[in-house]
Homo-oligomer: A and B are copies of this chain.
């Protein structure tokens, strides 16, 4: 298929060759090196989507469960849910509240305000150690900004960064990737008051494009293939400095919290 000028496309490119990330690693530089290796130019307007797991690792957000002493409440919740009490202690420490506790499930509101199972704490994928868990980055927007600035320094290009994580949803089976940190873009595209093609005024429609971009990127990540970074080209995202806090309803406006 030859590209003709009369259509546009969005391209989702999985970046191969990202090494195992260790604490202190310079993710911005690692991304630039991997892109160069694959002859992928980083260009102005690219969106780089990064799995939160590697950001957590670089930021030393790994905890050995041996170092955790469960509280009385954590012991009780662990008993009721069948989870490791030390894991429950960490989940509670990382959370504002328990949104839903039922069977083995602990749906939490994290300190950032995200609603997800186990406060986003994850056991898999940490090399050689089943007793080590990874926490979500402490301030994923700040992590995204730092990586964006580093890539800007190294390439002279203005990109947007999305840090993504895999969450379940209410009412629908299966997980999808969501944006938990962003830099260099706004997370929501507004169609407020814009008239549609028949001249009406559309009702307010706010599309959570940061989440859609995170979901699109996941398609190129796979789960166990070691592609934690995806570059998206050709999408005209809402410019400006946004925060993922814009993706979180204030509690009084949330119908389900």
**Please, how many angstroms separate the alpha-carbon atoms of A206 and B174 in the complex?**
5
Is B38 within 8 A of A6, CB to CB?
yes
Tell which of A68-76, A81-89, A151-159, A247-255 binds the partner: A247-255
Q: Which residue of B lies closest to A10 (CB)?
A: B12
Tell which of A59-67, A138-146, A188-196 binds the partner: A188-196
**Residue A191 contacts which of B11, B100, B224 (CB distance < 8 angstroms)?**
B224
CB distance from A118 to the nearest CB of B (A): 11
- Number of identical monomers bound together in the oligomeric complex: 2
Contact of A215 with B by CB under 8 A: yes
Contact of A209 with B by CB under 8 A: yes
Is B1 within 8 A of A7, CB to CB?
no
Is A219 within 8 A of B213, CB to CB?
yes
CB-CB contacts below 8 Å: A119-135 with B: 123-128, 130
**Residue A216 contacts which of B124, B203, B216 (CB distance < 8 angstroms)?**
B216
Given A124-B200, A211-B215, A216-B216, are A171 and B256 neighbors across the interface (CB < 8 Å)?
A: yes
Contact of A208 with B by CB under 8 A: yes
Is A198 within 8 A of B13, CB to CB?
no
Given A4-B39, A7-B38, A173-B248, are A12 and B255 neighbors across the interface (CB < 8 Å)?
A: no
Is A211 within 8 A of B176, CB to CB?
yes
Is A173 within 8 A of B188, CB to CB?
yes
Number of interface residues of A (CB under 8 A): 81
**Residue A219 contacts which of B123, B127, B216 (CB distance < 8 angstroms)?**
B216
Is A166 within 8 A of B38, CB to CB?
no
Contact of A40 with B by CB under 8 A: yes
Contact of A218 with B by CB under 8 A: yes
Q: Which residue of B lies closest to A105 (CB)?
A: B255
Q: Which residue of B lies closest to A249 (CB)?
A: B173
Contact of A80 with B by CB under 8 A: no
Given A212-B176, A212-B216, A219-B10, are A115 and B170 neighbors across the interface (CB < 8 Å)?
A: yes
- Can you sample 24 A-B contacts with CB below 8 Å? A1-B40, A2-B39, A6-B39, A7-B13, A7-B16, A8-B14, A9-B220, A10-B11, A10-B13, A11-B12, A124-B203, A125-B198, A126-B198, A170-B171, A171-B256, A173-B246, A173-B247, A174-B206, A174-B211, A196-B224, A209-B219, A211-B215, A216-B219, A219-B235
